[in-house]
Amino acid sequence: ETGVTQSPTHLIKTRGQQVTLRCSSQSGHNTVSWYQQALGQGPQFIFQYYREEENGRGNFPPRFSGLQFPNYSSELNVNALELDDSALYLCASSPTRSGRMVGTDTQYFGPGTRLTVL
Amino acid sequence: AQTVTQSQPEMSVQEAETVTLSCTYDTSESNYYLFWYKQPPSRQMILVIRQEAYKQQNATENRFSVNFQKAAKSFSLKISDSQLGDTAMYFCAFSPPIGNQFYFGTGTSLTVIP
């Protein structure tokens, strides 16, 4: 069984640029969530995708957007990068039913992408 | 709004000893899920243990156990027979009963000393 994978591992961008991060969910998982983890902090929820549609969003501006593909993989896009966007971006997949986590579901995390904005 | 608080930024324990990490949370929900995740220097978040609020029995997973006090909204993690591989950042997380996001605390950095 393949776990959650993310690419790239590290990325350096300059302020104002755009970036795309990628995530492949664990086999059999239909829901992908994205989190931003600033240095020394816990992960903060960005949004979740279920069946190719956004299914919940945290307190992040519209320049954070995403996609989910038919194979359940996902992308996180960030436009007009700001210095404060420097963080570890985590993707997590879960085998949710009806787009909502219930019962014994949990989230399985990828290794993250370290984004540095200069 | 749900909040999760971990009041111990750093802790250390001697190898083979027992350590307890604290977590409190705030919610108006009556049913929910609580988790402890471990994040080693490799960065991958690994699920340590999971507790369902409607279950009174504390969850256990080998050397890891929790002390869940629902009325006090407290969810501590006990690690017995600590091993060097337990050195990591530990995050407490809350999930509402039918929700699509996890709320994380700020983490506790645990160091196991040989």
Query: Does A100 score more than 70 pLDDT?
Result: no
Q: For the purposes of burial, counting CB atoms within 10 Å of the CB of B114, is it exposed (0-12), middle (13-18) or buried (19 or more)? A: exposed
Count of Cβ atoms closer than 10 Å to residue B17 Cβ: 13
Q: How far is B92 from chain A (nearest CA, A)?
A: 9
Task: Quick: pLDDT tens for B49-59.
Answer: 999 898 889 99
Q: Which of A48, A109, A114 sits opposite B101 (nearest CB)?
A: A48
Please report which confidence band the pLDDT of residue A74 belongs to, taking 50, 70 and 90 as the band edges. very high
pLDDT value of position B23: 98
Please give the residue of chain A at the shortest CA–CA distance from B41. A111
Chain A neighbors of B42, CB-CB under 8 A: 111
pLDDT at B29: 86
Shortest CA distance from B109: residue in chain A? A40
Query: CB distance from A5 to chain B under 8 Å?
Result: no
Give the model confidence (pLDDT) of A42-63 as tens digits.
999 999 998 888 888 999 999 9
Chain A, 18-77: which have a CB under 8 Å from a chain B CB?
A: 31, 33, 35, 40-45, 48, 50, 55-56, 58
User: What band does B78 get if pLDDT is binned at 50, 70 and 90?
Assistant: very high
Give me the DSSP letters along A41-75: S--EEEEEEETTEEEEE-S--TTEEEEE-TTS-EE
> Per the CB < 8 Å rule, is B98 touching A41?
no
Q: Is B53 left (phi over 0), alpha (psi -120 to 50) or beta?
A: alpha
CB contact under 8 A, B101 and A88: no
3-state secondary structure of B47: strand
Q: How confident is the model at residue B84 (pLDDT cuts 50, 70, 90)?
A: very high
